Amino acid sequence: MDHTLPPKTQSELLKRAQAIAGLTIAELAQRQQQAVPEQLLHAKGWIGQLIEQTLGASAGSRAEPDFAELGIELKTIPLNANGQPKETTYVCTVPLNDLATSWQASWIRQKLNQVLWLPIEADPELPIQQRRIGSAILAELTPLQDQQLEQDWLEHMELISTGRINEISAHHGTYLQVRPKAANNKALRTSTDEEGQSIQTLPRGFYLRTRFTAEILNQHYIS
């Protein structure tokens, strides 16, 4: 089995995801003829990319969901020893220019509207090879989630569009954070301040807090 071609239907995508549920990372890597890194420090996105490759996501695309034709985004969720999400989830870059858009039309909402969530064991005690892939969850934003995300997004965009991006900290937002997304804290990018002057600022990304992904899991595995 070597799924390099994108799945043609939602059902085909789900079938592929179900087929890898329960596998260890070592088993999946072998199928894909990949070597498993000893640690993720120097291979941070590796597992996500292994999964993308396996399910046939169109890698490297921009401003589009991973499965563009199906309108589905793929996201892995690292789980701690307790089965809870261990990290926030990166969604996409925060636009620093091109601010005149609505939540409905925004890039981030296009990505989050329909997501295939794939929980993956990530207890640091567990060697990467032995970590198991969980059962995929295909979830559409509920009206309530949509509303809550929109509210967070509006607050962030208000600050950005009034040139106060440097006032944003990761403390803002109920579900959605804005945090640095860069090679390091020297990687600056041009934005615009309150008086229309150019300013240098760190590039940022939108991240979903763990409380959001924890709710997704709870809604689907009522234990």
Partner DNA sequence: AGGGATCCATGATTGGATCCCA
Partner DNA sequence: TGGGATCCAATCATGGATCCCT
Q: Which residues bind DNA (CB under 7 A)?
A: 39-45, 47-49, 51-52, 59-63, 66, 73-76, 78, 80, 84, 86-90, 92-93, 107, 120, 122, 124, 169-171, 177, 179-187, 189, 202-203, 205, 209-210
| Residue 62: both structure tokens together | 């921009």
| Residue 48: both structure tokens together | 């996500």
| Residue 135: both structure tokens together | 């059962």
Which residue, 6 or 195, has its beta carbon nearer to DNA?
6
| Residue 108: both structure tokens together | 């981030």
Which residue, 143 or 159, has its beta carbon nearer to DNA?
159
28 with 50: CB under 8 angstroms?
Answer: yes
Which residue, 98 or 195, has its beta carbon nearer to DNA?
98
Helices (H), the chain: 10-20, 25-31, 46-55, 107-112, 143-161, 210-220
Q: How far is the CB of 30 from DNA (least distance, A)?
A: 18
Q: How far lies 54's CA from each of 10, 17, 40, 84, 215, in Å?
A: 15, 9, 19, 24, 26
Which residue, 74 or 217, has its beta carbon nearer to DNA?
74
Q: How far is the CB of 41 from DNA (least distance, A)?
A: 5
Q: How far is the CB of 135 from DNA (least distance, A)?
A: 16
Q: How far is the CB of 8 from DNA (least distance, A)?
A: 20
**CA-to-CA distance for 108 and 156, rounded, in angstroms?**
13
